[in-house]
Amino acid sequence: MNDKPFTIQPLPHKGLGVIATRPIAQGEEILSESPLFTQSIARSAHTIARSLSLLTKHEQEQYLALSNCHQAQLPPLLGIFETNALPCGENNAELGLRADRAGIFLQASRFNSSCTPNVNNCWINSKKVISIHALRDIAEGEELYLCYTGMLDVRDKRRRLLKEKFGFDCHCEACGRVGKELKESDRRRQTIQRLIDEIPACHSLPADGVRKVKTALALLRSEGIALYEDTLSYDAFQFCVASSDFQSAKMWARKAYEAAILSGGVDYDGVEKFRKYMENPRSHMAAGMGRRMKLSPPDDV
């Protein structure tokens, strides 16, 4: 089906938001959109005004109609940009990455935030578009959510950041948990973050590295977060390839490949690399560099 599977409409306490107008399958591309304009990290009201001056009057009006949660602190043009801009490049706070450009997308800017998002945005550099994919099967009538920030922080910190940067109190499913459920959710997210931080230092203990990857993947699943599977699986691939366990390496590369396609589509950065290593793990530069040992493949093969 090629029709746009969503509508943008007013929602209680959230301004506008995006609602599925039919069932959407996991991995389906929901939107592919070019930016109205982009800005570097060193942006200001002045640089934004310059970009806007190159647009049509109608486009300028559309920009000015976007929401602005920084009205009290920033000049209007900059406030609108900071409320709505999405990264045009690799951007992942948990992995310490920050895209050097951000852009305004008239439709993608209407997606609200959840700390357990059901869609993912990624920048497709070869096409210069933002692409949004379903992270799980979505029913007709469900709201579509990106995650704006700090998914692996504990609830109180997430709420504080969302209030500071986007001006709202988050009542998403994850932030609405209480008591034991909240404690468990916080603990899972903290543990995933700790494992992501520890994994790069596991090169001399690759079995430990693979074990940490598996633990992080299991916790992500329990927490309902359908992200990071590609990068974590690629970490496990690298441990296996360095240890000359090419059979397990192949399976980890396949897992990274399939996860990257589901969350970002075939043009997503990394997909081609994962495909190459899935077909020929020995072509990786670290192949056979470590002590030879049998590690383990993903649990779900």
Ligand X SMILES: C[S@@+](CC[C@H](N)C(=O)[O-])C[C@H]1O[C@@H](n2cnc3c(N)ncnc32)[C@H](O)[C@@H]1O
Binding interface with ligand X (CB under 6 A): 13-17, 66-67, 69, 83-84, 109-110, 112-113, 166-168, 170, 172
Sign of CA dihedral 234, 161, 220, 196: positive
Which C-beta is closer to ligand X: that of 17 or that of 103?
A: 17
Token pair listed for 37: 């304009």
Q: Which residue is nearest to ligand X (CB)?
A: 15
Q: Report the nearest approach of ligand X to the CB of residue 14 (Å).
A: 4
d(CA 167, CA 100): 24
Output DSSP code: residue 120: E
- Toward ligand X, which CB reaches closer, 170 or 262? 170
For 181, the enclosing helix (H) or strand (E) is: helix 179-198
For the CB of residue 165, give the shortest distance to ligand X in the complex, in Å.
Answer: 8
Tell me the closest approach of the beta carbon of residue 235 to ligand X, in angstroms.
31
Residue with Cβ nearer ligand X (132 or 170): 170
Comparison of 109 and 244: residue with beta carbon closer to ligand X: 109
Alpha helices (runs of H) in 224-269, residue ranges in sequence order: 229-242, 246-264
Provide, rounded to whole angstroms, the least separation between the CB of residue 13 and ligand X: 6
Distance CA 80, CA 255 (A): 39
- 175 vs 202 by CB, closer to ligand X: 175
Beta-carbon count within 10 A of 97 CB = 11
- DSSP assignment of 87-100 equals ESS--BGGGTB--S
* Closest separation in Å from C-beta 209 to ligand X: 35
